[in-house]
């Protein structure tokens, strides 16, 4: 196993109770198609969690960067996978990009603090 990195992303949901309930339902165990979970694991993702409050979500992902494809390779793999394409299209119907990142579904966050770096 290579170096594991933690990455965090944020997106909002359409602020409608029924839509949020359906989104939550899709993310229960067994909700996402197996092909989607397999594609995530193939990208070197060793752990992925989505946390939610109201209509805001944070995705915390740990990834083995030795197994992570570069951005162009990942985009090509996802574009060639009809299950991933269908899942992404379905999820985008529930999601609302953040105001400062209008063309990004899951905006990657910048880590600005780490306790283990403090004196």
Structural domain boundaries of the chain? 4-103
CATH architecture of 4-103: 2-Layer Sandwich (3.30)
Q: How do residues 39-93 score in pLDDT, each as one tens digit?
A: 999 999 999 999 999 999 999 999 998 888 887 788 888 899 999 999 999 999 9
Q: List Cβ<8 Å contacts ≥24 apart for 106-114.
A: 106/9, 106/10, 106/11, 106/59, 107/9, 107/10, 107/11, 108/7, 108/8, 108/9, 109/8, 109/9, 109/10, 109/58, 111/6, 111/8
Output the pTM of the full model.
0.90
* Residues 4-45: tens digit of each pLDDT: 999 999 999 999 999 999 999 999 999 999 999 999 999 999
């Amino acid at each position: 196993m290579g170096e594991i990195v933690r990455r965090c992303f944020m997106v909002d949901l359409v602020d409608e109770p029924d839509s949020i309930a359906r989104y939550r339902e899709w993310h229960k165990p067994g909700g996402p198609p197996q092909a989607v979970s397999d594609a995530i694991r193939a990208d070197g993702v060793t752990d992925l969690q989505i946390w939610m409050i109201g209509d805001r979500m944070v995705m915390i992902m740990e990834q083995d960067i030795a197994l992570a494809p570069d951005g162009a390779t990942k985009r090509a793999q996802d574009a060639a996978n009809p299950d991933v394409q269908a899942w992404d299209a379905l999820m985008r119907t529930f999601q609302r990009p953040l105001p400062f990142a209008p063309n990004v579904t899951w905006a990657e966050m910048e880590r600005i603090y780490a306790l283990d770096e403090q004196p």
